[in-house]
Amino acid sequence: MKLRRALVAVATTAAIASTTLLAATSANAAPSTPSAPSGLCTTGNPHYKPVLRTTISGLPVEIKAGSGWRNFTLTLDNPSQAKVTNIHLFAGVSSTTEGFKAFPTSQVSLQAYFPKTKRWENVTDTAGHTDGYFGWASISAHHHINIPMRINVTKKAPAGKAMDLGAGFYQDAKNKCTAITAATYKFQIIAPAKHA
């Protein structure tokens, strides 16, 4: 299983244990490093828990289509005694809460803020969907990082249930495997008001 597909699968399963897992969206080949472990930590160990903890905060439970940008925060926390490095960051917005099916960018846009360049950058895959890898991070022991993000639900987006996903994967040197930390946030897209 490709790492990208596995990331979405594990992330969704971890956050929504009672739902049926669907395949991730379009093909964006998962980047890797020559020294990266080939197996996922959850393979053969379904009770594995990653060191890092991930949360999403600041989004409302309802977003009206066409209402503009909504800011939120993706937080990764490292409560352990050791620094965690080379965390590959992933995010996306799904048109369903049953698994993960990324919106096309014409319906929903997702951006992450990069303090060094002071710019918002789009989070997309190569096929025009609102999901993808968007950077790397390292977190010292007993520290966390807050990643400013924002979402824009356009008037073209269909009304209904939706879900924001934030995740990262990194090498678990002790267990010699790839760990995945993730969080999801469910919200409702509301149709724009129709003028008489």
> Per-residue DSSP letters for 98-159?
SS--BPBTTTEEEEEEETTTTEEEE---TTSBSEEEEEEEEE-TTEEEEEEEEEEE-TTSPS
Q: Give the pLDDT score at 127.
A: 92
pLDDT at 47: 87
Residue at 118 is within a domain: yes
CATH code, 92: 2.60.40.3880
pLDDT along the chain (196 residues), means of 10: 57 40 31 52 86 96 97 98 95 89 96 94 94 94 97 97 94 89 95 74
Domain total of the chain? 1
Instruction: Check residue 40 and report its DSSP letter.
Output: B
In a domain, 195, yes or no: no
In-domain check, residue 71: yes
195 φ, ψ to 5°?
Answer: -85, 140
What pTM, to 2 d.p., does this model score?
0.82
CA atoms of 88 and 82, how far apart (whole Å): 17
What's residue 111's pLDDT? Answer: 98
